[in-house]
Amino acid sequence: MKKRTALFPGTFDPFTIGHESIVRRGLALVDEIVIAIGFNESKNFYFPIEKRLEMIRAIYANEPRVRVESYNSLTVDFAQEVGAHFILRGIRSVNDFENEKTIADMNRTISGIETFILLTEPALTHISSTLVRELLRYNRDVSNFVPQQSIHLLTSK
């Protein structure tokens, strides 16, 4: 039987417990998830890509069904490169849905790759990488918002 692989793309600056929840729940649906950090030169990142890769790899060091990679191409091209059959996305609100639907429709049109969307758990909808970065800028505790395995790496920017 063919392995079902999903690509979970994002900037993950930083990876939050909301992202972690999507991966955990996604693993119930597929055999493998490739967490893919995309390069986006138009964005100004808080953490360099090497640090983000290190943080996420620390979280999944003992999970053989999760790989962490980076890419600098169209998401669908990278999905095909790593053998992903699906793109996994999470949405926190109705506002996120319109954007994700548009991207999913385009991805399906140009590549045939389906996207599946998991709704964020209600207790986590207020958590975003943007808000975590804001807390970090002001030296506030973010331990309730990021996976425990990456906390020590967040402070060693």
pLDDT at 37: 97
Residue 53 belongs to domain spanning: 5-154
129 catalytic per annotation: yes
pLDDT at 156: 63
Give the residue from 71, 58, 61, 55 showing the smallest Cα distance to 8: 71
Q: Is the pTM of this model over 0.85?
A: yes
- pLDDT, mean of residues 108-117: 96
Three-state SS for 38?
strand
126 catalytic per annotation: no
Catalytic residue of the set 21, 52, 129, 150? 129
Q: Could you read off the pLDDT of 62-78 as tens digits, one per residue?
A: 999 999 999 999 999 99
Q: Could you read off the pLDDT of 8-44 as tens digits, one per residue?
A: 999 999 999 999 999 999 999 999 999 999 987 777 8
115 φ, ψ (degrees, to nearest 5)? -110, 135
19 catalytic per annotation: yes
Q: Could you read off the pLDDT of 83-94 as tens digits, one per residue?
A: 999 999 999 988
For residues 94 and 130, what is the distance between their CA atoms, to the nearest angstrom?
Answer: 18
**Structural tokens at position 104:** 């999913």
Catalytic residue of the set 3, 43, 126, 140? 43
For residues 131 and 133, what is the distance between their CA atoms, to the nearest angstrom?
Answer: 5
Task: Report the amino acid identity of residue 37.
Answer: I
Whether the Cβ atoms of residue 129 and residue 11 lie closer than 8 Å to each other: yes
Residue 56 sits in a domain whose CATH number is: 3.40.50.620
Q: How many structural domains compose the chain?
A: 1
- Examine the pLDDT at 157 and tell me if it is beyond 70: no
Whether the Cβ atoms of residue 55 and residue 154 lie closer than 8 Å to each other: yes
Residues in the chain: 157
